[in-house]
Structure 1
Amino acid sequence: MIRSSEVKIGQSTLLDVGSGIGAIQYELFGDGLTRATNVEASTPYLETSKQETRRRKLTDRTSYHYGDIVELAPELSNATIVTLDKVICCYPDPEALIEATSTKATQLYGVVYPRVRFITKIGLKLGNLWSRLWNNDFRMYLFARNYIDRIIRDQGFVIQNQDQTFLWHISLYSRNGEPFI
């Protein structure tokens, strides 16, 4: 797995899709990231990240956008690094999601999404059942690694590093195969 210390972050910008509480940006700011743009569809996550950004005195280097990234992407600036950490599994159309976000990445494109395994299939079914029972529109999706990889490669990226855990695929791509480390 690539760690931020192995990647030249200085003078880079980040577009973090599904930014949650901002963990990726805080890690990369520590390595010299110059600017972060966060896109999140959860108001509580966005508000928590904003509070932490103020606490860390990074508000002048951080911007926030609430909503659907596919709709917001045309308004956002390109970034050196684009990340989607546990986002692909929350979006029904991975092709639209990847096309909208990958066009914003000038050098690196990183994704984390669930592996298609028996346990993740069961978890997905139970999670989606729970959402339906509580009248929540949120749904989770599983997509095969080959399918996601093909979509990203079709956008002009070359795999730079892949890893996996028990539940997750972790992939880092570079634009046109140009090394960034």
Structure 2
Amino acid sequence: MDECCAPGPPSGYDREFDDRFARRLARGYRRDGLTASAQLILDFAASVGLEGASVLEIGGGIGDIQLEALKRGAAHTTNVELSSAYEPEAARLLDEAGLRNRATRMLGVDVAGEPEAIEPADIVVLHRVVCCYPDYRRLLGAAAGRGRRALVFSHPGNSLWTRIGSRAINAVYTLTGNPYRSFAHDPAAMESVLVGHGLAPRYRERSGPWHVVGAVRT
């Protein structure tokens, strides 16, 4: 399951999201640019206004969305990540683009547990992340509290087949001793968390299994 895996303790991220995984993502980005779902995320951010904006991405991996946001005029980006395996590839991509001085990468911060450790930003991004976290209310609530103007996130839907697939993958994880789990949270319930934190969903698009929801501060 390349794009959605559930975290255990922070140390487990390096096992699941290892150097090989990070290199593969970086190769794909260099070759093809953003994935279709990531492009939808960026399109929403651009519609809100990237020029001079600060962008916080929670679980941004190699930082491809952040790189494209910087190229479109964002003033600064911050990435919060739990796997150290992404860092070498992320640094190389920033250096190749000449953008390292406009990006901050924070390692080992669980946003849901310590949101105060992260400075607020104009736009908050969570791509292929909420399906990785068991307590979506805490995660989205903490993320919403960091967003001054907008938040955009993606999720894999909650259809019967998605739920069956999630259970099947989790069964394999259990059999192999992998602590990671995937989650198919209720989309309406996730949006209600944003509404409860002063954000109004205004953007809903889909690419394959990924649903993208963008919300603006009211």
Q: Percent of aligned positions with the same letter in both sequences?
A: 26
Does the alignment pair 1:11 with 2:52? yes
1:61 counterpart (102, 105, 112): 102
1:109 counterpart (147, 151, 170): 151
Judge which range, 3-12 or 85-94, deviates more: 3-12
Q: 1:74 maps to what in 2?
A: 116
Q: Secondary structure at the match of 1:69?
A: coil
Q: 1:83 maps to what in 2?
A: 125
Gap change, CA 1:37 and 1:88, over 3 Å in 2 = same
Q: Secondary structure at the match of 2:113?
A: helix
Alpha-carbon distance, 1:132 to partner:
1.8
Q: Distance in 2 between the 1:136 and 1:124 partners?
A: 14
Q: For structure 2, list consecutive stretches of 5 or more residues without a partner in the other structure.
A: 1-39
- Larger relative strand fraction: 1
Check whether the contact 2:48–2:150 (CA below 8 A) recurs between aligned residues. no
Alpha-carbon distance, 1:120 to partner:
1.6
**Please, what is the CA RMSD of the aligned residues?**
1.7
Alpha-carbon distance, 1:5 to partner:
4.8
Q: For structure 1, list consecutive stretches of 5 or more residues without a partner in the other structure.
A: 177-181
Q: Secondary structure at the match of 2:122?
A: strand
- Larger relative helix fraction: 2
Does the alignment pair 1:170 with 2:218? no
Q: 1:142 maps to what in 2?
A: 184
Q: Secondary structure at the match of 1:133?
A: helix
Q: Secondary structure at the match of 2:170?
A: helix
1:159 counterpart (181, 192, 201): 201
Q: Secondary structure at the match of 1:153?
A: helix
Check whether the contact 2:153–2:213 (CA below 8 A) recurs between aligned residues. yes
Q: 2:168 maps to what in 1?
A: 126
Check whether the contact 1:78–1:104 (CA below 8 A) recurs between aligned residues. yes
Alpha-carbon distance, 1:127 to partner:
2.0
Alpha-carbon distance, 1:128 to partner:
1.3
What is the letter of the counterpart of residue 58 of structure 1? L
Check whether the contact 1:39–1:65 (CA below 8 A) recurs between aligned residues. yes
- Aligned pairs for 1:19-38 (under 5 A) are 19-38=60-79
Check whether the contact 1:11–1:32 (CA below 8 A) recurs between aligned residues. yes
